Amino acid sequence: MIIRELTQTEIPEIAEIERRCFSHPWSEDSINDSFANSSNRFYIAEFDGVIAGYVGLSVIIDEGYILNVAVLPDYRRKGIAKALINHIISLYKEKLAFLTLEVRPSNTAAIRLYESFGFEKAGLRKDYYREPKEDALILTLFMNKGNI
């Protein structure tokens, strides 16, 4: 498996991963806009030559916000999401006070993944998601607490 930064020509493949992973996927245009924002970084996992997963990260001064993590259904439970998150933690651990994200409380797979890194429940955003309507759980990993 190779983890590296996304290039602009690969954005259609990220849009395809979005379509296959989410009921409300990011459109190719939204990914393009997000990619063009200098605060954001996108990393991909290549598995057997296929872009099997990606993570998007927004960095504002010393705060890191995970925009999204997704792995194609056929490539799950192979450690790809874990490798992507490990990659951003190693790259940014000296620069960030914390990494945070929102997740559906029903998304057990993602919550287990984040908890395995030491992310902790930090709050709830009421009715954050639609179709189906659901609150968002805020999970945060403090970099300066000896968690990593």
Ligand X SMILES: CC(C)(COP(=O)(O)OP(=O)(O)OC[C@H]1O[C@@H](n2cnc3c(N)ncnc32)[C@H](O)[C@@H]1OP(=O)(O)O)[C@@H](O)C(=O)NCCC(=O)NCCS
Give residues in contact with ligand X (CB under 6 A): 21, 53, 69-71, 76-82, 103, 107-110, 112-113, 116
Q: Tokens 């951003």 — which residue? A: 88
Q: Which of 43, 54, 75, 114 is catalytic?
A: 114
Nearest of 66, 127, 131, 54 to residue 102 by alpha carbon = 66
CB atoms within 10 A of CB 148: 14
Least separation in angstroms between residue 59's CB and ligand X is: 18
Determine the distance from the C-alpha atom of residue 77 to the mean position of all C-alpha atoms in its chain, rounded to a whole number.
16
d(C-alpha 47, C-alpha 51), whole Å: 6
Least separation in angstroms between residue 56's CB and ligand X is: 11
d(C-alpha 92, C-alpha 86), whole Å: 10
Determine the distance from the C-alpha atom of residue 140 to the mean position of all C-alpha atoms in its chain, rounded to a whole number.
13
Least separation in angstroms between residue 18's CB and ligand X is: 9
Q: Which of 18, 75, 102, 129 is catalytic?
A: 102
Q: Is 43 a catalytic residue?
A: no
Task: Indicate the residue among 78 and 93 with the shorter CB distance to ligand X.
Answer: 78
Q: Is 102 a catalytic residue?
A: yes
Residues noted as catalytic = 102, 114
